[in-house]
Amino acid sequence: MVDSINKPGRLRPAPENFLSEEQIKAVGAGRRDFLRKSFLAAGAALAAPVVARASEGDSAILNLPEWTTTLGQAVAVRPYGVPSKYEANVIRRESPGLTRVGAASVSFCPLQSLFGIITPSGLHFERHHQGWHDIDPARHRLMINGSDPEFLKKPKVYTMDDLMRLPSVSRIHFIECGANTGLEWGNVAVPTVQYTHGMLSCSEFTGVPLKLLLEDCGVDYKKARFVLAEGADGSSMTRTIPMEMVENGEVIVAWGQNGEMLRPENGYPLRLVVPGVQGVSWVKWLRRIEVGDKPYATKDEAVHYIDLMPDGLHRQYTSIQECKSVITTPSGGQQLLDKGFYNVSGVAWSGRGKIKQVDVSFDGGLNWQTARIEGPVQNKALTRFNINWVWDGKPAILQSRAIDETGYVQPTYGQLRKVRGTKSIYHNNAIQSWKVLESGEVSNVQVL
Amino acid sequence: MVDSINKPGRLRPAPENFLSEEQIKAVGAGRRDFLRKSFLAAGAALAAPVVARASEGDSAILNLPEWTTTLGQAVAVRPYGVPSKYEANVIRRESPGLTRVGAASVSFCPLQSLFGIITPSGLHFERHHQGWHDIDPARHRLMINGSDPEFLKKPKVYTMDDLMRLPSVSRIHFIECGANTGLEWGNVAVPTVQYTHGMLSCSEFTGVPLKLLLEDCGVDYKKARFVLAEGADGSSMTRTIPMEMVENGEVIVAWGQNGEMLRPENGYPLRLVVPGVQGVSWVKWLRRIEVGDKPYATKDEAVHYIDLMPDGLHRQYTSIQECKSVITTPSGGQQLLDKGFYNVSGVAWSGRGKIKQVDVSFDGGLNWQTARIEGPVQNKALTRFNINWVWDGKPAILQSRAIDETGYVQPTYGQLRKVRGTKSIYHNNAIQSWKVLESGEVSNVQVL
């Protein structure tokens, strides 16, 4: 039937009952008032049931909402659109007191209000070390050099125009700060998923593979086994990346995010995209790449972004974000208004590849059911899961447990602490628990 | 090596050369000035080559850009972010004079400035019939009824809360106005890809399959073979959709777009998503669904959105957007600044399914090369293609030709006009040509 209606070239005359002969004559004679009244009557008949229900029995025709009875706003009133005024609470939020100054702080993404896998760029989490700038792309440069001339034969300086002429790729990837869920290592620290897991976002990034740039500069892969990435802000943000990650083509020097240029607070005009790796390595405002033969031991890998282990030593050079998931609806701070059916929804991700399966428990981990994974499943990207739940009004503990394509299973807090203790800041990928009370209130709890 | 660095639990002491003994003592003694000077010197050495190039030989240390030497802005200064001030020209644009009033007009998406497949929601094209409203979701309702009680046993009215509790799906789909490229049927009408192809966008949509709602209302598929969708604005926007499209689960009653709630100008809080079908059927501000046993012959399918064929009859009830593509970079109005390498990039899409292949010609269709398809390839979604081109400085005509998974090949203007003539407004999916002059100027031309 679809085909018969849409078959190219098939012709169908207008149904005879579309306009009566009288109506057609009315138009011809300019008797618009007749048509107007006919249409108003028809409109009222169509709209009545909806409005009657909405307004609890008031006269339907008198209660048509203003958006049905008035002319709306013109196109391009907003040449660049913004959300509805009714969504004013869906914003990034800073955690007061987390850091001393806002220029070296975090704003968290409102995961509890989001759908699907793409994070709107306006809500992408922020983590700066010395604040963000709106850099002039005409003045920005990317230099590529070697710590020894042997490692890279033709050091170059690229303008943005130079870079944007090169072969580009577009890929959807998550980015997660290594410190995401960091406040939860030892105890329940914050009430909502925005603060427990909100240093997490997912975008479609566009840029040139770093591999291509290094080869353009005559890299010697046998000698140059590490890459140093350096940002243009004042924080001296530098990180070492092993060359294996570059050689497989996954690391991108990106200018595009969700279809447009990067936002200033996400590194405009250039940032490094290191899929699967913690956010600190995705150097923003990227101005320099150096290749060398050993890790660079920069401050943000040697003395920061390290994990204090139970034996008192620090775990360094951690980078890949292991498989993790979280239920975003319902989540801490939300309220179930009544018993009955709910679509329980969340996101899963892994720095090792694609998500294979997500299980959900409604009883704190005693029983598990496999969730539906619907929508795009991409390499090292957020993956949306959904599962049906009929809430009987009794207390419940909701958990999700992700499994990636390597077979790695997201650990419980008990399993993770057995190896890592409770003193770390980074790389907490334990199963999150949300407790539902009889009142419908949802809160953050830890289950070992 | 990646594994060895990231192996859980592997410990590595800080390299000995990170801080010298003297530096460590300096910190201990509070001699910060020493450290500060050391770091400044190191910073200057690192930054010098970049800045030297940028400033044409001026003293490097004096010309560090302000974003390197000043504290940046705090996180959450913008709780909802916006693009860089340098991107102020990347906006939706109205075509002056296209319609009499802006409330019944079009704003076009700036395809020439976009990357990948996701359209930023702020740049999504607009086509309204009586302007847009910012509807209060607490007052909005969706009614589902049958034109005969036999067709649907339990008519219902849903609140937004009712709908958002139901099982949802998230899928990436393109939406294209049936009139996209409509000005080009008979001649070259407009200079840029924003105006030739800019009634086109692609988003991740989240919502409940309409199939599920109809079944919740007790639909009888044997009797109810058509769906009428009705919007809440004043334009009486109503369209018939064949039930086959609903039964396969693809039609969604959507509230989410690119991770957040729909934007007001795209139907907030509810719109119909009809993948593969022209935009007019994606009814915005959706307030009612009726099921019936025949097409409804509404004004926007019986007398508008019809194609005048060469024999004087009108082609009605067209809906599926056939396979199409366009090169967005370089495109009309742009200027190649010099000879050499370019990444030629564009998008392809098909209302019949996935894109299988895109070919590109640089000589007006005499010779074709297969482009790279990189990034996500989704059902009925924009698909980004790229191809390498070394411009020798001579005149060239750039074309792209898409092929979808059904084997359908995008037609030339000659092929399309042979069947449809030149008087249509809708469903122009012909191959687009961009002419490059020796001056580097790129312009819109038609090749039959």
- Assign residue A413 the CATH number of its domain: 2.60.40.650
Same domain (yes/no): B301, B367 = no
For residue range B367-407, what is the model confidence (pLDDT) as tens digits?
999 999 987 999 999 999 999 999 999 999 999 999 999 99
Mean pLDDT, range A421-443, rounded to an integer: 96
Decide which of A289, A311, A333 is a domain's last residue: A311
Whether residue A43 lies inside any domain: the answer is: yes
Is A144 a domain residue? yes
The pLDDT, as a whole number, for residue B97 is 80
pTM listed for this prediction: 0.87
Q: How confident is the model at residue A236 (pLDDT cuts 50, 70, 90)?
A: confident
A109 reaches B (C-beta below 8 A): no
User: Is residue B76 in a domain?
Assistant: no
- Mean pLDDT of the residues in chain A: 88
CB contact under 8 A, B204 and A66: no
Assess contact for B359 and B401: CB atoms under 8 A: yes
CB count within 10 Å of CB A231 equals 25
Q: Do residue A274 and residue A173 come from a single domain?
A: yes
Most confident of A296-300, B56-60, B358-362: B358-362
Banded pLDDT at B62 (limits 50, 70, 90) = low
The candidate with the shortest Cα–Cα distance to A306, out of B72, B423, B14, is B14
Of A225, A246, A210, A208, nearest to A291 by C-alpha is A225
Asked if the structure places residue B78 within a domain, the reply is no
Tokens representing residue B392 in the block: 């020798």
Rounded to whole angstroms, the Cα distance separating A232 from A128 reads 12
**Residue from the list A131, A345, A384 with its beta carbon closest to the beta carbon of B72:** A131
Q: Is residue A74 in a domain?
A: no
Domain assignment of residue B383, yes or no: yes
Are A239 and A100 in contact by the 8 Å Cβ rule? The answer is no
Q: A229 and A361 share a domain?
A: no
Out of A283, A311, A339, a domain closes at A311
Question: With contact defined as beta carbons under 8 Å apart, do A277 and A426 qualify?
Answer: no
Residue A298 lies in a domain: yes
Cβ-based contacts of B81 with chain A (< 8 Å): 92, 121-124, 263-265
With CA atoms as reference, report the closest residue to B50 among A286, A291, A284.
A286
Q: Poorest-confidence range of A91-100, A187-196, A362-371, A398-407?
A: A91-100
- Residue A20 in contact with partner chain B when CB distance is under 8 A: no
Chain A residue with Cα closest to B268: A84
What is the predicted pLDDT for the residue at A99? 84
User: Which helix (H) or strand (E) is A389 found in, with range?
Assistant: strand A383-391
B297 and B401 inside one domain = no
Give yes or no: residues A38 and A97 share one domain: no
Instruction: State the pLDDT at residue A62.
Output: 59
Chain A residue numbers touching B84 (CB-CB < 8 A): 134, 137, 261, 263-264, 268-269
- Is B341 within a domain? yes
CATH number, residue A190: 3.90.420.10
Q: A121: which chain B residues are within 8 Å (Cβ-Cβ)? A: 81, 120
Query: Residue A258 and residue A242: Cα distance in Å, rounded?
Result: 27
Same domain, A355 and A419: yes
pLDDT classification of A200: cutoffs 50, 70, 90: very high
Report the residue of chain B nearest A87, measured CA to CA.
B261
Contact map slice: A 371-400 vs B, CB within 8 A? 372, 374-376, 378, 384, 386, 388
The residues in B 174-203 lying below 8 A from A, measured between CB atoms, are: none
pLDDT at residue B51 above 90?
Answer: no
Can you tell me the mean pLDDT for A10-16? 30
Percent of chain A with pLDDT over 70: 86
Nearest to A302 among B18, B68, B233 (CB): B18
Counted domains in chain B: 3
* Rounded-to-integer distance, Cα A313 and Cα A319, Å: 17
A257 and A377 in one domain?
no
Which site among A5, A11, A75 would you substitute to test the B interface, given the most B Cβ atoms closer than 10 Å to its Cβ?
A75
The residue assigned the tokens 């410190």 is A179
- Predicted pLDDT of residue B61: 52
CB under 8 A, 24+ apart: contacts of B159-166 = B160/B255, B160/B269, B160/B270, B161/A337, B163/B207, B163/B208, B163/B253, B163/B255, B163/B270, B164/A343, B164/B255, B165/A340, B165/A341, B165/A342, B165/A343, B166/A341, B166/A343, B166/B208, B166/B212, B166/B213
Residue B63 sits at the chain A interface (C-beta within 8 Å): no
| Residue A194: domain span | 91-311
Q: Are residues B245 and B347 in the same domain?
A: no
DSSP annotation string for B309-377: -TTSPEE-S--B---EEEEEES-TT-B--SSEEEEEEEEEE-TTS-EEEEEEESBTTSS-EEPEE-S--
CB spacing of A256 vs B172 below 8 angstroms? no
Q: Which two tokens stand for residue A173?
A: 């990837």
Query: pLDDT-derived band of residue A26, with 50, 70 and 90 as boundaries?
Result: very low
Rounded distance, CA B206 to CA A114, Å?
A: 10
At A28, which amino acid appears?
Answer: G
The residue among B291, B315, B339 that closes a domain is B315
Residue B74 forms contact with A (CB below 8 Å): yes
Query: Which of these ranges, A92-101, B13-22, B285-294, B418-427, has the smallest mean pLDDT?
Result: B13-22
pLDDT at B6: 31
Query: What's the pLDDT at A100?
Result: 84
Scan for tokens 């105006």, then name that residue: B195
Quick one: A56 and A136 in the same domain?
A: no
Say if residue A33's pLDDT is above 70: no
- pLDDT at A67 > cutoff 50: yes
Shared-domain flag, residues A286 and A360: no
Is the confidence at residue A119, as pLDDT, over 90? yes
Share of chain B above pLDDT 90, in %: 78
Give the closest of B73, B118, B386 to A259, CB-based: B118
Tokens describing residue B346: 């564009």
At A440, give phi and psi (nearest 5°).
Answer: 95, -10
Q: Quick one: B91 and B55 in the same domain? A: no
CA distance A105 to chain B (A): 6
pLDDT of the residue at A4: 30
Percent of all residues in chain B with a pLDDT value above 70, rounded to a whole number? 86
Same domain, A441 and A348: yes
Residue B384 confidence (pLDDT): 98
